[in-house]
Amino acid sequence: MHRDLRAVTRPTQVGIVFPPRPAVPQPERMETIQSAHSRLRFDSLEHVTTPDGSGRVSVRLEWRGESYERTVSCLETQQSIIKAASEAALIAMLASTEGERTQKIELEVIGVKAVKAFDGWVVVTRIHGSAGVDTYQLLGAAPCELEADLPSAAVKAVLNASNRVLEQRVAR
């Protein structure tokens, strides 16, 4: 049995008032809005194995048209590589705040772990931070499908954990 729903549901006025739609930003203003609230973006990651069997991970982040690249040495184990990637991302992130009108921000990677879940991977990172009298306990996560992508997921987990706090501190 098929009913015509138009006959059953008639529009009624209930007293709901919707606010006016905000004006669409003009293209020249759009650039200013995006740059004022932009976040650090993950640009690239390079993992190099050295002849002595160790390695190094370089992470490049981009913010406001500038690149911040940092490198951290590591052992050639999965855990050491993702920890180096997360630490390099954090060091590059802190480098991006130098010269900003903000209190000194201190961030430290407490831990990073890759977990196999649902036929994929999730990298979880915990970061401790402080700025002046404020302290932060931050947690970030990022998924990936392949084990080879774990270092990139570690960088994204760091950004997920700390970008919002960093953006708020720099905007003050």
Q: Specify the pLDDT at position 170.
A: 54
Q: Specify the pLDDT at position 103.
A: 66
List the domains of the chain with CATH numbers: 39-171 (3.30.160.270)
Q: Specify the pLDDT at position 55.
A: 93
Q: Specify the pLDDT at position 112.
A: 96
Spatial separation of the C-alpha atoms in residues 65 and 50, rounded to whole Å:
31
Tokens of 23: 């004006």
From first to last of its 172 residues, the chain has per-residue pLDDT tens of: 555 544 444 444 444 444 455 555 554 543 433 444 467 889 999 999 988 889 999 999 998 888 999 999 999 999 999 999 999 999 998 888 776 656 678 889 999 999 998 899 999 999 998 877 888 899 999 999 999 999 999 999 999 998 877 766 555 4
Task: Compute the C-alpha angle 151/152/153, nearest 5°.
Answer: 90
Q: Specify the pLDDT at position 8.
A: 45
Q: What is the number of other CB atoms lying within 10 angstroms of the CB of residue 125?
A: 30
Q: Assess contact for 124 and 140: CB atoms under 8 A.
A: yes
Q: Specify the pLDDT at position 17.
A: 46
| E strands in 5-158 | 41-49, 55-63, 66-74, 105-117, 120-131, 134-144
pTM of the model: 0.73
Q: Specify the pLDDT at position 130.
A: 85
Q: In what order do the strands lie in the sheet with 41-49?
A: 41-49, 55-63, 66-74
